[in-house]
Amino acid sequence: MARPWTLLARRWAFVLCLLGVLVLALLPVPSHIPAMPWDKANHALAFAALAILGCWSWPGRARNVLLGLLAYGALLELLQALVPYRSAETLDLLADGVGLLAGWQAALLLRRLLKVAPTSG
């Protein structure tokens, strides 16, 4: 079992990452911010990071975390449809899902390597 302060730190990191993804998803795309050349890779990477942090923040509740994050991705796409300089794309949500699965697998691998609390669920 993780120490309470460690779990709290993980959850704060998760919330900050959620907020960062929200801001990046809704702001205009500035040309000076480095990004992956393919937009879908940005989605997959962001949601892989969220999956890892989420699974580590709520050990044993991976299913709920991943489903919640997929819903978050769908919400972001709906919000992007409302912003004039962004657009909603179904393939973005698919990339989010691919990132979630990759992040979940990475969390499982890290758990085995570091022997931390379970992430399946």
User: How far is residue 90's CA from residue 83's CA, in Å, rounded to a whole number?
Assistant: 16
Residues 11, 16, 21, 25: is their CA dihedral positive or negative? positive
User: How far is residue 25's CA from residue 68's CA, in Å, rounded to a whole number?
Assistant: 17
Instruction: Give the pLDDT of residue 49.
Output: 98
Q: If you average pLDDT over every residue of the chain, what do you get?
A: 89
User: How close are the terminal C-alpha atoms of the chain, in Å?
Assistant: 16
pLDDT digits (tens, 9 = 90+) for 51-96: 999 999 998 999 999 999 999 999 999 999 999 989 899 999 999 9
Q: Measuring CA to CA, how many Å separate 72 from each of 1, 3, 16, 105, 116?
A: 28, 28, 14, 19, 26
Residue 116 has pLDDT above 60, yes or no: no
User: How far is residue 46's CA from residue 95's CA, in Å, rounded to a whole number?
Assistant: 10
pLDDT digits (tens, 9 = 90+) for 6-50: 889 999 999 999 999 999 999 987 666 665 667 899 999 999 999
Residue 117 has pLDDT above 60, yes or no: no
Instruction: Give the pLDDT of residue 92.
Output: 95
Q: Enumerate the domain spans of the chain.
A: 39-121
Query: pLDDT: is 3 or 62 the higher one?
Result: 62
Instruction: Give the pLDDT of residue 35.
Output: 59
Work out the pLDDT band at 4, boundaries 50, 70, 90.
confident
User: How far is residue 74's CA from residue 88's CA, in Å, rounded to a whole number?
Assistant: 9
User: How far is residue 23's CA from residue 117's CA, in Å, rounded to a whole number?
Assistant: 30
pTM, rounded to two decimals: 0.85
User: How far is residue 30's CA from residue 96's CA, in Å, rounded to a whole number?
Assistant: 21
Q: Measuring CA to CA, how many Å separate 11 from each of 7, 55, 113?
A: 6, 10, 21
